[in-house]
Amino acid sequence: MSTIPSPEEIVNAAMELSSILTKAGVAHAIIGGAAVNMLGSNRLTEDVDILVEPPAIQHRELLLSSSNSFSMSELKLAYTSKSGAVIPIGILEGGSKSFIRMPKLTNTPTLKVDKTPVVHPAMLVCMKILRWGWMSDSTRPQSLAKAQGDFDDILSMLELLAERGERIDFKGIDEDRIEGHMEYFRKLRSKSKRVDELLKMVLDK
């Protein structure tokens, strides 16, 4: 049975991965739950996702050849921590067409956390809210659990934005998708008084 990684192990995996890509001159940014961990949240997540420019397979081979911590597990790239926790690594190409339509890395706002590029909290909220909006209406326990995790991450990032006096300006989001985001924000604020308060600070004009 594999060990569930701690937030610290997730951050360590993200930082080692980023260090290798940075040394090779590969532009990238940490996204998803790992990014939320790097920005201060302690919510448990099981994987590390990064946004890169194509080709993803080339970056995977670079990681495999650069550190014994990276290996292939069940046909997927993984990082093994010192405690033995196996952490799946997702390498997502910027601009790829999927349900959430990955933004192009060159248009994606980022910030540095201990020299590691992390997608900006405002963009993380915009990326997370699409999956939350879809899964929150599901009747499947697994989907509802993911929706709750996304909700917790969104709340954490909204708190961070409010604390920093920053706003969600949809930078990096395709214009034709902004109204879809706004629909989910309306749905989100109806679920939580605290979220409504935060959105008044970071989203409303």
List the domains of the chain with CATH numbers. 7-118 (3.30.460.10), 120-202 (no CATH)
Least confident of 22-26, 63-67, 72-76, 186-190: 72-76
pLDDT at 60 over 50: yes
Q: Are the C-beta atoms of 161 and 124 separated by less than 8 Å?
A: no
For 172, left (φ over 0), alpha (ψ -120 to 50), or beta? Answer: left
Read out DSSP for 44-92? ----EEEEEPSPHHHHHHHHHHH-TTEEEETTEEEEE-TT--EEEEEEE
Check: pTM over 0.85? Answer yes or no: yes
- Reading the block at residue 163, the tokens are 């604390």
| The predicted structure's pLDDT at residue 156 | 96
* 172-200 tens-digit pLDDT: 888 888 999 999 999 999 999 999 999 99
Q: Give, rounded to a whole angstrom, the gap between the first and last alpha carbons of the chain.
A: 50
Per-residue pLDDT averaged across 5-18, rounded? 97
pLDDT tens-digit map of 83-129: 999 999 999 998 765 555 688 888 899 999 999 999 999 999 999 99
Average pLDDT over residues 137-152: 94
> Residue 62: is its pLDDT beyond 80?
yes
Residue 1 has pLDDT above 50, yes or no: no
Instruction: Please give the pLDDT value at position 4.
Output: 82
